[in-house]
Amino acid sequence: MTKLTDLTISAARDGLNGGDFTAVELTEAHIVAMEDARGLNAFITETPDIALERAGESDGRRKAGAAVGAMDGIPVAIKDLFCTEGVLTTAGSHILDGFTPPYESTVSGNLRAAGSVMLGKTNMDEFAMGSANITSYYGNVINPWKGKDGKDLVPGGSSGGSAAAVAGRLALAATGTDTGGSIRQPASFSGIVGLKPTYGRCSRWGIVAFASSLDQAGPMTRSVRDAAIMLGAMAGHDPKDSTSAPVEVPDFEAALNGDIKGLRVGIPKEYRMDGMDPEIDKLWSEGIDMMKDGGAEIIDVSLPNTEHALPTYYIIAPAEASANLARYDGVRYGLRVDGDSLDEMYANTRAEGFGDEVQRRVLIGAYVLSAGFYDAYYRKAQRVRRLISNDFKKAYESVDVLLTPTAPSAAFAIAEKMDDPVAMYLNDVFTVPASLAGMPGISVPTGLSHQGLPLGLQLIGKPFDEETLLKAADVLEAAAGFDGRPA
């Protein structure tokens, strides 16, 4: 029999329903794995007691023949950006020291209502700002994958702890959040599936905000089917979030019928960038062939404003962040470093509480919004954002989904790119455009690099058409037959 920690959600669900094992057994196996793999630093807070309690409740429901949820008894990890009632929530930041929310985020609450079992809170880049999980106050996360040289690698970011937990078999799945690629890029670096839903599909209520117009929660799993199951449990309209879309949640899993005959797959020429890693190029070509073999029609499209996406993102996201992070002032919760005046207390608290990357982005954000610069930066970025959105809308007149690489490289070593923020920002070059346009995107592992590291391809779908996106991803996943796993 397969090890309990190697199961997918769908297989574990069948096993639980068939009585092959209990939720408590499944959970215990993961608690042991979590403890054994502490060297990865994937979790900031482990919650084994909560996990066992909820697993016991789940077993009780099954035993009593009561109704069970879509994720009943499934052990999952929750990114530490989601507020969890009674459990320390840090956003990877020193400034939220000791912050234990008296409320549960809508998404983690939905997952709990679906019966899932929370194993703990995963490490992440501070306030979700980063692409390598090296900005966390709680230390960097180590990718369970190793290259041939055996160096410690980054798991990607910002949902690096979640990616490492899922790839390292410490959780069957995990929540992530994606602002410019924070689900998809670490999924690609860690050889797992990561889905960023359409903006508005999942409620943002109770998720520590980074950039409100971009932030979106999504599942990180080991199969496309699992992503479909988990998205169904996370999504839904929430009146507490004004940007949450009042749309029905379809049965995403039912959309996975393997039939992509006639599906129009767009290949955006602007994503074939100068100096692109030939390995990535090759991976992409192979992906195109797989879709073609599955019966899809391949169509070349143009997204002409792609090159402006990254600079646009690095104006809008920091601008919003500069305001969103203003509430961390030492007055009401978290860290306070005293000073002789209110202003000094603010300065001391924020200087000590925020790391370098967060401070950099708050400063960039304040700068682009300040008098005299607003029009040149923020307002212009908003206009370009609209153009980028229009590019996608236009492309979707002739195609159903787009296929691109997820990230420009495989996972890199922990010390690399540390001193060069712009090189780090380039990690998001393929994921940021869909974020700006609010489109759903999914990363599927399809191959290995020459170093034996996982590489993912990204499919981008139409707004609120995650069903088609998942169906295409399911076919790509099956064709790629990716079965690599960390040693």
Partner 1 sequence: MTYILEGDTGDWEVVIGLEVHAQIISNSKLFSGSATSFGAEPNTHVSLVDAAMPGMLPVINEHCIEQAVRTGLGLKAEINLVSVFDRKNYFYADLPQGYQISQLYHPIVGEGTVILDLDDGSTREVGIERLHMEQDAGKSMHDQDPKRSFIDLNRSGTGLMEIVSRPDLKSPEDVGAYLRKLRSILRYLGTCDGNMDEGSMRCDVNVSVRKVGEIELRNRAEVKNVNSVRFAMQAVEIEARRQIDVYEDGGDVIQETRLFDSVNGETRPMRSKEHAHDYRYFPDPDLLPLELTQEYVDNIKATLPELPDERKARYMGAFGLSAYDAGVLVAERDTAQYYEEVAAGHDPKLAANWVISNLFAVLKEKGVGISESPVSAKSLSKLLDLLKDDTISGRIAKDVFEIMVAEGKEAEAIVEEKGLKQITDTGAIETAVDEVIANSPEQVEQYKSGNEKIAGWFVGQVMKATGGKANPPMVNQMLKDKLK
Of the candidate spans 203-211, 251-259, 399-407, 435-443, the one that interacts with partner 1 by CB under 8 A turns out to be 203-211
Shortest Cβ 468–partner 1 spacing (Å): 26
Task: Show contacts with partner 1 in window 251-290 (CB under 8 A).
Answer: none
Place of tokens 């793999």: 37
Q: Is 464 left (phi over 0), alpha (psi -120 to 50) or beta?
A: left
Q: Which is nearer to partner 1, 99 or 482 (CB)?
A: 99
Regarding 374 and contact with partner 1 (CB under 8 A), the answer is yes
Shortest Cβ 22–partner 1 spacing (Å): 33
Of the candidate spans 160-168, 248-256, 363-371, 479-487, the one that interacts with partner 1 by CB under 8 A turns out to be 363-371
Q: Tell me the chain's radius of gyration from C-alpha atoms.
A: 21
Shortest Cβ 436–partner 1 spacing (Å): 12
Select the residue interacting with partner 1 from 94, 184, 204, 361 (CB under 8 A): 204
Question: In whole angstroms, what separates CA 267 from the centre of its chain?
Answer: 23
Shortest Cβ 329–partner 1 spacing (Å): 6
55 by Cβ neighbours in 10 Å (0-12 / 13-18 / 19+) ranks as buried
Closest CA to 215 of 255, 181, 249: 181
Q: For residue 335, what are the CA distances in angstroms to 54, 104, 210, 327, 357?
A: 31, 21, 18, 12, 18
Shortest Cβ 187–partner 1 spacing (Å): 23
Regarding 369 and contact with partner 1 (CB under 8 A), the answer is yes
Contact 349, 336 (CB under 8 A): yes
Give CA–CA dist 286/445, Å, rounded.
12
Contact 284, 260 (CB under 8 A): no
Of the candidate spans 155-163, 200-208, 282-290, 416-424, the one that interacts with partner 1 by CB under 8 A turns out to be 200-208
Regarding 129 and contact with partner 1 (CB under 8 A), the answer is no
Which residue numbers are catalytic? 79, 158, 182
Q: CB within 8 A of 31, min separation 6: which ones?
A: 46, 48, 51, 52, 119
Contact 296, 472 (CB under 8 A): yes
Regarding 407 and contact with partner 1 (CB under 8 A), the answer is no
Q: Which is nearer to partner 1, 252 or 346 (CB)?
A: 346
Give CA–CA dist 317/303, Å, rounded.
21
Task: Show contacts with partner 1 in window 66-105 (CB under 8 A).
Answer: 82-83, 89, 91, 96, 99, 101-103, 105
Closest CA to 432 of 385, 466, 472: 385
Find the largest Cα–Cα distance for the chain. Answer: 70
Regarding 391 and contact with partner 1 (CB under 8 A), the answer is no
Helix (H) or strand (E) holding 299: strand 297-301
Q: Which is nearer to partner 1, 206 or 440 (CB)?
A: 206
Select the residue interacting with partner 1 from 366, 387, 418, 478 (CB under 8 A): 366
Shortest Cβ 242–partner 1 spacing (Å): 5
Select the residue interacting with partner 1 from 174, 202, 209, 457 (CB under 8 A): 209
Select the residue interacting with partner 1 from 46, 59, 126, 320 (CB under 8 A): 320
Select the residue interacting with partner 1 from 212, 389, 449, 451 (CB under 8 A): 212
Q: Which is nearer to partner 1, 152 or 241 (CB)?
A: 241
Shortest Cβ 241–partner 1 spacing (Å): 5
Regarding 308 and contact with partner 1 (CB under 8 A), the answer is no
Select the residue interacting with partner 1 from 75, 115, 206, 294 (CB under 8 A): 206
Contact 389, 439 (CB under 8 A): no
Select the residue interacting with partner 1 from 16, 74, 195, 211 (CB under 8 A): 211
- How many of the other CB atoms lie within 10 Å of CB of 398? 11
Give CA–CA dist 220/199, Å, rounded.
17
Give CA–CA dist 144/424, Å, rounded.
21
Helix H, strand E, coil C: the string for 155-178 is: CCCCCHHHHHHHHCCCCCEEEEEE
Of the candidate spans 2-10, 364-372, 440-448, 456-464, the one that interacts with partner 1 by CB under 8 A turns out to be 364-372
Encoded one letter per residue, x for contact with partner 1 by CB under 8 A and - for no contact, window 423-452 reads ------------------------------
Regarding 343 and contact with partner 1 (CB under 8 A), the answer is yes
Regarding 371 and contact with partner 1 (CB under 8 A), the answer is yes
For partner 1 (CB under 8 A), the number of binding residues is 44
Closest CA to 96 of 149, 44, 163, 169: 44
Encoded one letter per residue, x for contact with partner 1 by CB under 8 A and - for no contact, window 224-253 reads ---------------xxxxx----------
Q: CB within 8 A of 262, min separation 6: which ones?
A: 295, 296, 297
Q: For residue 234, what are the CA distances in angstroms to 46, 101, 177, 291?
A: 21, 20, 12, 28
* Interface contacts to partner 1, rule CB under 8 A: 82-83, 89, 91, 96, 99, 101-103, 105, 204-209, 211-213, 239-243, 319-320, 322-323, 325-327, 329, 331-333, 342-343, 346, 366, 369-371, 374, 378
